[in-house]
Structure 1
Amino acid sequence: MKKGLIVIWILLLISSVSCKDFLNLVPKNKRIVANVEDVKTEMLTYLAAITYSAGLIQPSYGGSVFRFPLYNDMATRLCLYEDDIDMSYYSDHTDIDEKSMGVYTECIDWKGISIANVLWEKCYGAIGFMNVIIDDLEKAGGYTEAEYETIVGEAKTIRAYYIFKLIQFFAPYQNDRLGIPLNLDSENVTPGDRLSQKEVYKIIIRELEEVLGYRTAREDWNMFYHPGIMKAILAQVYMFKAGSAAAEKNDWANAEKYSGELIEGYEPESLSEQLAGMFSGSVREYQVGASNYQLRMTYRRQFDFGNIFTGIWAEGKAQRVANELLTMYDDDDIRLAAWFKTSDEEGRTIHYINKPGYTSSINEVTVLFRTAEMYLINAEAKCRQDRVPEAKVMLEKFKKARIPGWSEYTGANVLDEILNERRREFCYEAGTRWLDMKRLGVETSRVGASKEGQGVETYTLKKDDYRYALPIPTDIELNLNKMEQNPGWGNLK
């Protein structure tokens, strides 16, 4: 997106509604959309809001201020859910709005209600707004095929992505009946029941495959309307779906197909500088289709927090790497230098998180899709289809790039090692490890500060634990729409 456009469209306030029912998004006092340019302005407003903040008017819809759902503070909470942080050592630091120790206490036992509230609000708010954009274009009429496809293609891809995030975070993995509620019509706002997971996945796949069939090339302002983005989402969808209650016979074949179309000619990065550069906050930009990643966004918040608060990565307050993760790396692995920083303390070397690597001017760096993930999805898909020798060749190529001088894999379980590579590669990336833990049924224990007062406790997450499905926010949907709560959560207060 051109920076000039960003500054202009951020000034536009599309709609602001005082309500907390995010399944009932009625666009009150909405400005009149007269033509295609007005609809394009709506879309550009949203894209500006998730990539840039100038301290001016924050556009909103349905009572939800636009923000990319997995922004830095939310990514921090998800990292605290994962098993890659040493939770027995936590550096407290103050954000303008909250004490980070409160976030730690909420997340230590995987019961962070604020995670559920934010993800539910931001995802459904964006879905509702994409519904409006699509319907507004139809009402405006007078569009060319190119205008229709670039606007609707952007909206439908964004919508499909957020629907996928909702089912990943809120649907119990092995209960097909409990999917998510979904409404794609901005005119009909009557809340509906939860769809099954199979029904939701059909919608996601249908939307993305439809847009993949569009003939118009993306324009400079497009972010999500890009064949690589659509294929990357589809590869993730089929991988995640394949082990769930919604699984179908060809899921792994489709995961292999879409990931395979994105890794042709890909050579895994072999320098730590290349890896660190993907997560650098030195430039405010978004990039689509670059060789090292499919989509990256950087974001500067209204206030320059700088080193005061950057989640688990705060300067001087970064969190320690879990020893279990640290011991998984070979001593020569280039990721050690790219993603961690060290300090000599207590007579030993302590590793701290340095991924992303922020600057004082940029404190949001989100890498949504990486070619490396497509590569490992492809390798896992081959394994799951009993083509282990092919997967082993891919695994060895990947490891040789990440570990200079490494020769060959001699272990007995190629699939396990591919999954280990996923953990090494995607640690601290916007919930990627948490969702892998969910789909793989990881059981884990950790020691952390007691929620009840002084001392420490051991917290355990079981295989297929109910906490792997976030609770439906009580004060929003359960009360307003009489929705069924996810098993295990009871009556939240």
Structure 2
Amino acid sequence: MKKIVIYIALCCTLINKGCKDFLDLPPKNQRAVTTLDDVKSVLAGYLDMFARSNTSPIVGQAPIMNEAQNMMFEAYADNFDFAGNMGQYINPKNIHGIEKLYANKLLFNDMETSDNIWNNYYAVIGFLNALIDQSDELTQGDPSELKRVKGEMLVHRAYYIFKLQQYFAPMDKEDRGIPLYLHTGKEVVGIEMKRWKSADVYKVVIDDLKQALAFYQSEGGNPGYSRFFNGRFIQNLLAQVYWFKAESSARQAEDYTEARNYALAAIDGVDAYIPNTLTAFQNVQRNLNTEYPAVYMQSLNFGNVGAIYGSPYDYLGFAPANLKVDPGFLESFDNDDIRKAAYFNGAVLSSTWPDGMPNGPKYVRIHLFTPEEAYLILAESYCRLNQNEQALATLNKFKGFRGATAKNNLNNEQLLREIISERRKEFFCDTDKRWLDLKRYRLGTMQRKLKFFDKEFDIKVEAGGYHYALPIPLTELQENPHIVPNEGWNPIIF
């Protein structure tokens, strides 16, 4: 049997390599992986970050979306009144962010963060490719455990491929999917890392997830080891993939039916775990509800998102504080909605968001595969399938969890608008969700007229425009002659 050798720790020099280096070249030195226990041991060095917040993985990043990404996606969205907050951001009492940070993020110029997403996510895909290849060659070991381990890896790989496709592929250009290669260490000569058709990328993601789901349904999980290898989580992610794909160039007639079916499976039996009081809602944010059915991750860097979301030391007079949001967004909340009490203090962002703690602790807190996301995908899928009665019932049931007022007598168009509004309220400050909604629904134009370094900038982001496909890193374009860039991006030099 041919041995494949796995990195225990990636060399820092890999950071500037293109995706081809991660996807088609055999890893080098450090440790031979020849048995199932070897595979599990190496994979555990990556999975441990999903079990403990104080662990740095052997590949990738922890949390799976870091502070810079979280702030970039919010800065690229429309929830905050950034012009109205400039006096707080560019402020001598602000210890959380320098002017260049705000200029890059608020002017859609954060090339460093988008480069890091590309490099980090492709690095993990390459790592998983090597382990999956090796697991396919194993002839010894418990067959059930091998399926569990391979299923775990397939879900993780599918997740990273899906996120890269969401971030870097335009919605309406079928030939501009991400470049992809699914093996390592073999057949590497002559590979051209071209951009795939989006439909082909989605097929890989869906096939991997369906294979993992079949493994789970036949073998079950390993509670002491499995992280993403969970039937509910896999079906939640499948619902997300079909839902997002349904509005892309790769759409197929059955997408919303599939999204509906997988979302139904993902929410089966979860109602008792969805918070319906302010305290319960905040406890989920703090990961105090250990039965809440989602994967939780938290950053370790206290206050590192304060630059965008507000200083954790605002009670001492530090800026930014009392941050304004878009007035229309604020007005969209019902008075008894528990999210309004969690997010806001009057008309400004509450310093206690996200978790209600005194003095407003500010960490990146992430929940993956939440039942709330599956509920809203289900409501929209019913709506898109012209099953308006079921869509409205699902939406109103969800609103009931949050203390929001039920809606009645909505036509199909009104119902869709209400679902989009509900998503915006539910996922406020949640990772990449509002930016992806702006992209997927092709929502309205954003105009940023802001002053940095004594110069006026006027940035216009059109609905469905190029800003919704992140720029491919310059190093990738230089090293990979086969890749086509995402047009429109011209970095600003300050």
TM-score (norm 1): 0.85
Asked if structure 2 preserves the Cα contact closer than 8 Å seen for 1:14 and 1:42, the reply is no
Q: Pick one of 174, 185, 188 that aligns with 1:187.
A: 185
Q: Does 1:218 align with 2:212?
A: no
Other-structure match for 1:312 = 308
Asked if structure 1 preserves the Cα contact closer than 8 Å seen for 2:306 and 2:362, the reply is no
- Measured against aligned partners, the alpha-carbon deviations of 1:260-315 in whole angstroms (never above 9, x if no partner) come to 112234435321122222211679xxx6xx44x42222343xxxx43465453431
AA aligned to 2:478 is: N
Other-structure match for 1:75 = 70
Q: What is the Cα deviation at residue 150 of structure 1?
A: 1.8
Asked if structure 1 preserves the Cα contact closer than 8 Å seen for 2:297 and 2:365, the reply is yes
Q: What is the Cα deviation at residue 332 of structure 1?
A: 1.6
Q: What is the Cα deviation at residue 66 of structure 1?
A: 3.6
Q: What is the Cα deviation at residue 355 of structure 1?
A: 4.3
Q: What is the Cα deviation at residue 147 of structure 1?
A: 1.9
Other-structure match for 1:270 = 276
Other-structure match for 1:369 = 369
Alignment of 1:6-17 (within 5 A): 13-16=8-11
Alignment of 1:221-370 (within 5 A): 221-267=225-271, 269-280=275-286, 290-291=291-292, 293-300=293-300, 305-307=301-303, 310=306, 312-313=308-309, 314-315=311-312, 316=314, 317=320, 319-338=323-342, 340-342=343-345, 349-352=347-350, 354-357=352-355, 363-370=363-370
Report the CA distance shift for 1:309/1:399 in structure 2 as closer, same or farther (over 3 A): closer
Asked if structure 2 preserves the Cα contact closer than 8 Å seen for 1:15 and 1:28, the reply is no
Q: Does 1:409 align with 2:408?
A: yes
Asked if structure 1 preserves the Cα contact closer than 8 Å seen for 2:354 and 2:362, the reply is no
Q: What is the Cα deviation at residue 353 of structure 1?
A: 6.4
The structure where helix makes up a greater share of residues is 2
Other-structure match for 2:113 = 115
Asked if structure 2 preserves the Cα contact closer than 8 Å seen for 1:50 and 1:66, the reply is no
Q: What is the Cα deviation at residue 36 of structure 1?
A: 1.8
Q: What is the Cα deviation at residue 341 of structure 1?
A: 4.0
Q: What is the Cα deviation at residue 356 of structure 1?
A: 3.1
Q: What is the Cα deviation at residue 243 of structure 1?
A: 0.8
Q: Does 1:203 align with 2:204?
A: yes
Gaps of 5+ in 2: 1-6, 315-319
**Aligned equivalents of 1:298 and 1:306: distance in 2?**
10
Q: Does 1:127 align with 2:129?
A: no
- Measured against aligned partners, the alpha-carbon deviations of 1:189-217 in whole angstroms (never above 9, x if no partner) come to 54521110000001000000011111122
Asked if structure 1 preserves the Cα contact closer than 8 Å seen for 2:275 and 2:284, the reply is no
Other-structure match for 1:7 = none
**Aligned equivalents of 2:178 and 2:124: distance in 1?**
15
**Aligned equivalents of 1:362 and 1:354: distance in 2?**
9
Asked if structure 2 preserves the Cα contact closer than 8 Å seen for 1:111 and 1:467, the reply is no
Gaps of 5+ in 1: 1-11, 344-348
**Aligned-pair Cα RMSD in Å:** 2.7
Identity of aligned residues (%): 28
Matched residue of 1:254: which SS?
Answer: helix
**Aligned equivalents of 1:407 and 1:486: distance in 2?**
42
Q: What is the Cα deviation at residue 417 of structure 1?
A: 0.7
AA aligned to 2:144 is: A
Matched residue of 1:366: which SS?
Answer: strand
- Measured against aligned partners, the alpha-carbon deviations of 1:141-176 in whole angstroms (never above 9, x if no partner) come to 412112211211111100000000000000011001
Alignment of 1:449-468 (within 5 A): 449-451=450-452, 453-454=454-455, 459-468=459-468
Matched residue of 2:379: which SS?
Answer: helix
